[in-house]
């Protein structure tokens, strides 16, 4: 077995603390954006020689859906990729592969991005995809201000880091979607209840049946240019106030 194989590298020792922080974060059930900020911070501290790190989530159409950057330098280097529609991070996502640039000045790929980024203190970069369950969510990238800041070992470290980070982010997305669905269902139930209460009030005050009471509320909402729930809430509040 080659001396460069991952099993002979102390990757577990290097990443144990990082993985522990990610696991603890998952238990806290925070938001996706907060998770991205944590991953960005950990990525910057994981690899020596890194002056900035970022995480980008991209949908299946290639549109950026969310991003985090450790600093203004990283944010600008990333924005240039989005603006020019080319760069190592986008390639890492699109091809689901690790992309390394040892020297931005001599890099021949992505000529527009490398030319634009040379105005920044970025000399090398390393990007790796965030892959979970066969789906590439985006990419995590680190920037160095020195040439040859990253090597094969750094690629392996960042790849293992990205595997754990991808799971964390995917779980956060699932939790956030579940919370949003719960909120929507809760709102729907609350809306149903307040409309039912308002309908009952109209039935009692106007001496009409349920269908006629509902039609009365709908007509009022159209006349006042308000949502049905808003009209129902006012109806209920008015009766409540009168009873005081």
Q: Please check the confidence at residue 239 and state whether its pLDDT lies above 60.
A: yes
Question: How large a percentage of the chain has pLDDT more than 90?
Answer: 35
Tell me the average pLDDT of the chain: 81
Rounded Cα–Cα distance for residues 172 and 25 (Å): 10
Q: Within 10 A of 59 (CB to CB), how many other CB atoms are there?
A: 11
What are the residue ranges of CATH 1.10.10.10 in the chain?
A: 187-243
- pLDDT band at residue 238 using 50, 70 and 90 as cut-offs: confident
Nearest to 235 by CA among 199, 204, 208, 203: 199
Q: Over the stretch 23-66, which tens digit does the pLDDT of each residue have?
A: 555 544 467 777 788 888 888 888 889 999 999 888 877 788 77
Average pLDDT over residues 85-100: 95
Q: Over the stretch 129-152, which tens digit does the pLDDT of each residue have?
A: 999 888 898 999 999 999 999 999
Q: Please check the confidence at residue 10 and state whether its pLDDT lies above 50.
A: no
Average pLDDT over residues 177-197: 67
Q: Within 10 A of 123 (CB to CB), how many other CB atoms are there?
A: 21
Residues 6+ apart with CB under 8 A from 40: 53, 54, 55, 68, 69, 70, 140
pTM: 0.62
| Fold of the domain built from segment(s) 187-243 | Arc Repressor Mutant, subunit A (1.10.10)
Pairing of strands 50-58, 135-144: antiparallel
Q: Please check the confidence at residue 19 and state whether its pLDDT lies above 60.
A: no
| Fold of the domain built from segment(s) 6-179 | Beta-Lactamase (3.30.450)
What are the residue ranges of CATH 3.30.450.40 in the chain?
A: 6-179
Specify the pLDDT at position 214: 84
Q: 3-state DSSP call for residue 90?
A: helix
Question: How large a percentage of the chain has pLDDT more than 70?
Answer: 78
């Amino acid at each position: 077995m080659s001396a460069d194989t991952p099993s002979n590298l102390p990757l577990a020792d290097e990443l144990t603390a990082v993985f522990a922080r990610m696991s603890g974060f998952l238990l806290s059930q925070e938001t996706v954006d907060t998770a991205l900020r944590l991953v960005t911070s950990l990525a910057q501290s994981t690899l020596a020689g890194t002056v900035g790190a970022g995480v980008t989530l991209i949908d299946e159409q290639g549109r950026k859906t969310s991003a985090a950057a450790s600093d203004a330098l990283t944010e600008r280097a990333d924005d240039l990729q989005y603006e020019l529609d080319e760069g190592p991070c986008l390639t890492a996502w699109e091809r689901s592969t690790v992309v390394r640039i040892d020297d931005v000045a001599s890099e021949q790929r992505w000529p527009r991005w490398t030319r634009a980024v040379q105005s920044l203190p970025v000399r090398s970069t390393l990007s790796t995809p965030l892959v979970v369950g066969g789906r590439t969510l985006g990419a995590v990238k680190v920037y160095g201000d020195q040439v040859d800041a990253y090597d094969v070992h750094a690629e392996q470290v960042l790849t293992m880091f990205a595997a754990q980070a991808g799971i964390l982010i995917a779980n956060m997305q699932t939790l956030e979607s579940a919370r949003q669905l719960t909120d929507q269902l809760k709102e729907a139930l609350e809306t149903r209840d307040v409309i039912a209460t308002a309908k009952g009030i109209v039935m009692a005050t106007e001496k009409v049946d349920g269908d006629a009471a509902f039609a009365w509320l709908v007509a009022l909402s159209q006349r006042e240019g308000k949502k049905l729930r808003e009209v129902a809430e006012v109806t209920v509040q008015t009766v409540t106030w009168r009873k005081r």
